[in-house]
Structures are given as structure tokens and as C-alpha cells.
Amino acid sequence: MRLFVFFAMLLANFQVIGQCSATVVSSNGYTVTIDIDLVSIAAPSNCPNGYNYNVNLNYNIVFSGTNIPSNLYTLQGNVSCGGANTFYNLPNSGGTGSTTTTGNQYTNATDCTTATPASLNCYTLTLQIGGPGLSNQTVNMNCTTLPVELLSFKAYQLENEVELDWKTASETNSDYFMVKHSLNGLDWHEIGQVKGAGNATLPIDYTYMHKTPSEGLSYYRLQQFDFDGAFENLPIVSVFYRKVNSNGKINLYPNPSTINSINLEGLQEELTGFKILNVLSSDVTHLVVVEKINDSKYKVDLGNLSKGVYFVKTKSLTLKFVNL
């Protein structure tokens, strides 16, 4: 039995088209570096007469130097999509995360299910910033189009390793991916490389195993390198790692399951109120039939679930299993 555990997992689903950056230096001795990834378009699923949309963004805001303030006064901006501005707001304290613009712009196109930042010409970002020793100002961010369209990037604990999975939609001149690890989201070191596809127009799946992860919260990021040495930083994911002993708290078997059922055994306080989640983290417990054998053992009938990957979420653990 293989035990899949992930704590505070960030499951990133996106199609990164562009990356924008700006560096602003204060008179107080500190510098603010802002990286923003244009991730995807938030739009309805049906649009015969056009649609309103916003832009999903990932951001990484880093303070460096001396006299770093606890907060800026202002950190916000606009994304220009074909000349139409849509507003976004960022945390004044910095950090890593995601946000969605609020302009709710309109287009008369009917491509709402396939629209991307590139197809809507979202190539220009401005940033308004102000803080101690930093006069209120508007900065034009430098944006580049990425040679790799990243569909997803996932990190989760697999027994006593961390598995990183990512998928690309297309690649142009892609030599390799450098995998980097950080304990604080600021200081990074290389832990491995994975060969890229060169040029590809079909989706490709990649996996990298971090065999010596650090206890606690860790961050992972990909750098994609072209054959000419140019590279781009791709979005960051995080995972909380805790070493699992040979017994573990929960025993889940068989895994993968080919018999439309799984068994759960473990501590009563850990199993009480467990849930079944799909890969989108939606609760699908209502689709399974749970038979309580005793306080520390359950049989779960998976007959109503589609084939694929699911998770059992207990009090403090999340276990991955495959329904074949």
C-alpha cells in the first residue's frame, strides 16, 4: 500500500500566457519586486451574445533590503485587454497568492469557454504603488509572452517524498524545466531538472519526485529554459510535509482499487467525519456508500464514482487513491 498525504496543498490549475514584473526602490532602503502571471479568463460557460469577463492572476510580492515596512500604503493596478482596463488589488503586506480583476469587461465574442489572456489581448499591466519612503506612483510593468503554456502545477506528499506534477498545453523551443525549492518563498535552490519537449502543440504531463523534502511548509517553482538559455519563472505551489512512519494514522486499501470499493482503517478520532473529494476538491461523499464495520474501520463503495483520482479527507490527513 502506498500512502498519499498532502497538507495545505496548493493545486494550481491555469494556463499561463504572460508574465509581468516590476521592481520599485524606496528612499528608505527597501526594494519591492512584484511578479504577476496572467493565468486565465474568468467567464461564463455559455455566451451566444457575448460575455463579461475578468482576468485571473497569480502574484509574488517580495520585499528586500533594510527598513522593510509591515505594509505599503497602496498596491493595485489595471490589466489592459484590447484597450479596456480591468482593476486588480494586491495585498499591501506582500506575499504569494492569486486574485481576480473586478472590471467585468464585455466582449461580443462567443469564445467564453476557450478564451485566454492572449486571445483577449491582455498584454499591458500598470501598477499603482506607494509606501514609506515610496511616493505614490504608477508603474508600467514589463510583460513577456511565455514559450510554454502551463495548464496545471500540483504538489502533494507521497509517503515520505513530495511529488510534483505539471501539464503543458504547448511548448516552443523548450529545452528543460528546472525545479526549485524554498522554505520561505524567497530563497530558492535547484533540486532537479526535467527535459522539455522542444516544440509541442499537444498536452504533455511531467512528474518530478523530491526525495528529501523538508519538514513543514515548503514552496516549489518551475523555471522553463529555452535552447538559447533564456528562461521564465512559472507559478509557485506549496505543500506541508510531515514524515509518515511505517504504520501511519490511516490504512487505505486496495489502492489503486479495481473492485469499486476501498477500506479505511485507523484511529477513530482521525476517521470520524471523513469525506471523499474529487480532483477539483469538490465533496462527492454523497455519491459513495459508506459501511461502518466498527469505530476504526469503514468500507466505501465506489460504484457510483467515475474512474479517476480521488482523495479521502480525514481530520488531519488527505489520502489520494485511484478508482480504476
**pLDDT at position 10, please?**
40
**Residue 245, exposed/middle/buried by CB under 10 A (0-12, 13-18, 19+)?**
exposed
The residue extents of the domains of the chain are: 18-145, 149-241, 251-323
**pLDDT at position 247, please?**
44
Identify the CATH assignment for 149-241 out of 2.60.40.2060, 3.30.50.10, 2.40.50.100, 3.30.450.20. 2.60.40.2060
Query: How many CB atoms within 10 Å of residue 262?
Result: 24
Per-block mean pLDDT, blocks of 10 residues, the chain (324 long): 37 54 94 90 92 93 95 95 92 93 93 83 90 95 75 79 87 91 92 92 90 89 88 83 60 84 84 90 93 88 92 85 89
What does 19-72 look like in DSSP terms, one character per residue? Answer: EEEEEEE-SSSEEEEEEEEEEEEE--S--BTBEEEEEEEEEEEEEEESS--S--
Domain 18-145 has CATH 3.40.390: no
In terms of Cα–Cα distance, which of 89, 59, 63 is closest to 75? 89
**pLDDT at position 133, please?**
96
Do 18-145 and 149-241 show the same overall fold? Answer: yes
For 251-323, CATH gives: 2.60.40
In this structure, are residues 126 and 108 in contact, taking their beta carbons and an 8 Å threshold? Answer: no
Query: How many CB atoms within 10 Å of residue 89?
Result: 14
pTM: 0.48
In terms of Cα–Cα distance, which of 142, 144, 124, 138 is closest to 84? 124
Return d(Cα 149, Cα 146) in angstroms, integer: 7
